[in-house]
Amino acid sequence: MTTASAYDIGGPAIRRPSLLRSLRGSLKGSEYTWALAFVVPYVAVFFIFVVYPAGYGIWLGSKPSLYLDLLSDPIYQSTIVNTVLFLGVGVNLKMFLALLMSGFFMRPGWWTKGLLMIYVLPWAVPALPEFISIHWMLNGEWGLLNNVYYALFHADGPSWLNSHWLALGSAIGAHIWKWMPFWTIILLAGRMSIPTEIRDAAKVDGATGLRSFLYISFPLLANLYLICTLLSTIFTLGDFNSVTFVTGGGPANSTHVLATLGIRDAFELANPRLGVAAVMSALPVMIPLVIILMRKLKTAEVQL
């Protein structure tokens, strides 16, 4: 025995909802109008300021010949070394010191809170005047550091900005000084969220001082510390203020990092394609970091 379908007997066919109807959902009349009024501006801003600039930048740096030109440039080769040192030393030293300082500011007392307010000022103040001040402090002839050095030892101080390693170290130091308070506050918040019962139980068991840090605080802060380190690495990779305003890429273009080299090629050399290619050459490092960070945020929680 066979059965007849609606199509065979001439019945009405089942109509699938259109894409517009699916997006509209159960909204009708003025509700749908207000929903469009709120959504459309955000979508337009996203496409204008995110999708278009990113797509246009990828298109500018899409020619393989640009990367051959970069590899043949000795300044680019030294820039790679500078970027690795800037990331390796700047990020790790900054995060380690921030972890230690977060423990210091856990001390009770009004004076600790007062010091914390002063400590966060470098992060709270805009970066441009800070880095310009550091640049003039490091001036070899009339800078503050060399004047103090001469007053104490009656000898000329080092030429901070005329030496490759001293200038690069100065830029790294300025970056750490600027951003260490921010990560200290994040880690301090993580420490403060550790239940007091755990700390009290550790004190009863004799875990105080360094033992409390090694066996209580750091294991509970490990995930937070890792996430902060990944974020700091991504932020530092795009940081150009420290080098631009402290050393200017000098002496003789020897302290450039990828971010500042891209600016130099795009604006000073009037070659925006080469500048975009210099910045995009960091993608093999940036993309894995973002993937690891997203997986860490998705699959793990801060163990507090």
From CA 280, how far away is CA 285, in angstroms rounded?
10
Asked if pLDDT for residue 299 goes beyond 90, the answer is: no
Is 131:138 a contact under the CB 8 Å cutoff? no
CATH level 3 topology of 73-299: MetI-like fold (1.10.3720)
* Segment 294-302 mean pLDDT: 70
* Residue 102, pLDDT score: 92
Contact residues for 201 (Cβ-Cβ < 8 A; gap 6+): none
pTM of the model: 0.83
Tens-place pLDDT, residues 99-155: 999 989 988 888 988 999 999 999 999 999 999 999 999 988 788 999 998 889 888
**Residue-wise pLDDT tens digits, 189-238:** 998 888 877 776 767 766 666 777 777 778 888 889 999 999 999 999 99
pLDDT of residue 155: 86
- Kindly report the average pLDDT of the chain as a whole number: 85
Domain boundaries, the chain: 19-51, 73-299
pLDDT at 290 over 60: yes
Contacts of residue 245, defined as CB under 8 A and 6 or more positions apart, other chains included, come to 127, 128, 131, 132, 134, 135
Task: Give the model's pLDDT for residue 105.
Answer: 93
Give residue 256's pLDDT.
Answer: 96
